[in-house]
Amino acid sequence: MEPFDVDILLPVWNRPVDTRNCLVNLMATAPAARIILLDNGSDRETERLLEEFAELLGERALFLKTSANRGLVKAVNRGLERAEASYVVIVRNTTVVAEGWLDPMVELVASRPEVGLVVPRLEQASPQRREKPGRSEPAVTEVSHGSFAALLVRKKLLESIGGFDEELDGGVWCLKDYSRRALRAGFLTCAAEGVTVTCEDDVPLGSAARREETVRRSAATCEARWGREESFCVHWPGDADPEEVRARFPVLLRGARMGHRFTVIVHGELHKALLQAGYGSLHRSIAIEPLPRFFAAGELRRIVARVAARGGETTVVAGIDGLVVPAAADARPFGWLAEAVRRREESCYRSGGAA
């Protein structure tokens, strides 16, 4: 039998109602995919449910089970080891998909060989209402990391770097680490903004203190591997040459791929021109903020303060070397930023780079 084009991994630990709902939707919306059912030590009711679906799906299913809950990441890695398709999609059993959810992700990764990880448009499910999502205008943007709620992994990337780090938190730091490993291997992480997929957080296991320690340890491990994620505000004056500004955006994009966050602060006309040219959707970690024609210095202070309040310590950067940034006497020159990004690439990503 020829392998399927897509393998869908479904890790399950109990929650039979959510699991049934998820499986029914997957069967209806991805009829050409194989579903790898990963029973992670569920109770007998859920185990029986999975057995019934495996029998119903026949060759479209692979049923793997363990006697105890070994954790999400170990379950996912076990499924990744058995995946055969060119594209492997991880879906949580608390995720609700709708017609057309899979196509934008597959089309994106099939058309751009540099893309290794793709997430759909994700929306947190309301505890009061869980409606099937509708369509939005398609778009593509790069993102810092994926999500276990729904994540497509290119098989070539999987063959290159293997599975997820089982020593990390099973959440955001594990996902960030995987995207950084993908970047080092030459692959990007993107979002395919098509059909919205709704997701719901699982009930956390273990004590709060133990979970906090795991997250703290995972964050420290990622910082040791990939460097510290930092926040920057980059300011260009109203008379800046638009071509020069655009020529410097690749530095921001390379930095965003490594986990940095950038807030670009520019005056009205330049702000409009950058958005029209698509620079506002390059990467979710690059935001472009406008300054008014009058009282721009005060607004600049407010933007920097707001960014710092949201993301911690923030470095202000002058988009033009030698420029004095209003309200930021300690602003760094852009050349310093470019060199810092280059050094991070050399130290952490020397074995490869993204296109």
Q: pLDDT band for 350, please (50, 70, 90 cuts).
A: confident
pLDDT in tens, 145-188: 999 999 999 999 999 999 999 999 999 999 999 999 999 999 99
- Residue 326's pLDDT is 84
Mean pLDDT of the chain: 91
- Residue 200's pLDDT is 83
* Sheet containing 332-333, strands listed edge to edge, beginning at the edge strand earlier in sequence: 286-291, 261-267, 231-235, 314-318, 332-333
- Residue 354's pLDDT is 47
Distance (Å, whole) CA 144 – CA 113: 18
Phi then psi for 191, rounded to 5 degrees?
Answer: -110, 135
Could you name the CATH architecture of 6-224?
Alpha-Beta Complex (3.90)
Helix, strand, or coil (residue 37): strand
Q: pLDDT band for 126, please (50, 70, 90 cuts).
A: low
CATH number, domain 231-348, options 3.30.2420, 1.10.3470, 1.10.10, 3.40.50 = 3.40.50
- CATH 3.90.550.10-classified regions of the chain: 6-224
- CATH 3.40.50-classified regions of the chain: 231-348
Structure tokens belonging to residue 279: 């620079």
| Residues in a beta bridge with 7 | 34, 88
- Residue 132's pLDDT is 46
- Residue 128's pLDDT is 47
- Per-residue DSSP letter, 86: S
pLDDT in tens, 64-122: 999 898 899 999 999 999 999 999 999 999 999 999 999 999 999 999 999 999 999 99
The pTM (predicted TM-score) of the whole model is 0.92
Percent of the chain with pLDDT over 70: 93
> How crowded is residue 326: how many other Cβ atoms within 10 Å of its Cβ?
16
- Residue 204's pLDDT is 63
pLDDT in tens, 291-330: 998 888 899 999 999 999 997 899 999 999 988 898 788 9
